[in-house]
Amino acid sequence: MDAWLKMSAAELGRGIGDLRIDPVALAEAFLEAIDTHPYGDRIYVRPTRQRALDEAMAARARAQSGGRRGALDGVPVSWKDLVDTAGIETEAGSALLKGRVPGADAEMLRNATAAGLVCLGKTHMSELAFSGLGFNPVTASPPCVNDPEAVSGGSSSGAATSVAYGLAPAAIGSDTGGSVRLPAAWNDLVGLKTSHGRLSLQGIVPLCPRFDTIGPLSRSVEDAALLLAVLEGGKPADLTGATLAGRRLMVLETVALEEIRAEPLAGFESAVERLASAGAVIERRKLPVVAEALALSPLLYAPEAYGTWKDAIEAQPELMYPAILQRFQGGLEVSGPDYVAAWEELEDLRARYLAETAGFDAVLVPTVPSLPPKIAEVGADVAFFNAENLLALRNTRIGNLLGLCGLTLPTGHPGTGVSFLAPPMREEALLRLGAAAEAALP
């Protein structure tokens, strides 16, 4: 059973379909691993033991009767603690929401349950999802799989580490400024940022509703494709025959490579070389439109986040980690007219970006320009926290600001990722490209 903890979700699904893996025994194996793992409490807010076992028993009955609902029927998955779960606390990593119990599952969780997935539990996250480091002194800060003394990346910190430490085959997180891709890269996983509007946000605790997206963290591109289909109640992308031959990829040299540290740069450049060796046509270009979009971040994120949470925050500001409180309250400094003007400018920049990249299958960037800092250092110095957080989120925010879908893959260098950015609603094409790239990378 220990081998099950290292298998991909798709592999486990095939084992269930062949009756080689019992869904109940599988759920019990993961629940035991969560209970006994030294970092279990720092990764999971709360396992949903009874729900998992009930759902696994139903999956077992379907498998035995030949009535499986799909490729992942009976496979356990963890859920970031901003996805509403009926009758189970959903607190989004914040003391402001302590004791919050939704009356119904989020729409995407209902879709997953209808497809036979097993809910293992809720995972820790950055406070109200407003940090890229995964440091949360209010609840817990999950450790990075490559360095337990370091942060794991956020805000889907527990989601990433639940998979990386073998406490879930796959996880569901959210991505507003990079919160799926960043922790995926730092923990050597695949992470899919979906297009805004692709997946329902009904039953998701919001941060910035105009940027919020949901996506899977997994061990393979195949898993990401299957999970996307489950979450929206659709059909998975066809990954058969995917190839890099003749695919045109642009290495973005505007902003994304600035101030990048040695290890992420080495991982990224080695990945680019292997993609080229596999037949991809690589071009390097500068796109000033990207820098213009990134410059709008302060006018867009904090005002929307503060507008979303103003009443709850100002009622009990003492409950928040001061650095996160400060980030939210930064929204007070932006006027309404400036916010509206920034969105108008961003819509124009999005159109310009799509026109300038139209001849390429994807744009490549290092997923994160840094490696995860130590938890102790982050906690000891707010200025250090702020600087590391902004740098960590810089490259991933390109995809959010420009309204793109994005996929990060491990480069083979620990803690580093290569991201593929594609136009909105092109997830199927992106996943096919990712499957071909995955075969070319370690």
Q: Annotated active-site positions, please?
A: 80, 155, 179
> What span, in angstroms and rounded, lies between the C-alpha atoms of 193 and 212?
10
* Cα 115 from chain centre: 21
* Cα 194 from chain centre: 9
> What span, in angstroms and rounded, lies between the C-alpha atoms of 15 and 88?
30
Handedness of CA 112, 116, 119, 125 (dihedral sign): negative
Q: Are strands 190-193 and 171-174 parallel, antiparallel or unpaired?
A: unpaired
Using an 8 Å Cβ cutoff, are 135 and 229 in contact? Answer: no
Q: CA nearest 399: which of 431, 434, 365? A: 365
> What span, in angstroms and rounded, lies between the C-alpha atoms of 258 and 45?
36
Spell out the residues 6+ positions from residue 321 whose beta carbon is closer than 8 angstroms to its own. 127, 136, 137, 138
The residue whose two tokens read 């139209």 is 358
- Cis peptide bond prior to 218, omega within 30° of 0: no
Side-chain half-sphere CA neighbours of 242 within 13 A: 20
DSSP per-residue letters across 124-155: --SGGG--SS---SSS--PEETTEEEEE--SS
Using an 8 Å Cβ cutoff, are 170 and 217 in contact? Answer: yes
Tell me the one-letter amino acid at 155: S
The residue whose two tokens read 């996250």 is 125
The residue whose two tokens read 């070319």 is 440
> What span, in angstroms and rounded, lies between the C-alpha atoms of 59 and 67?
9
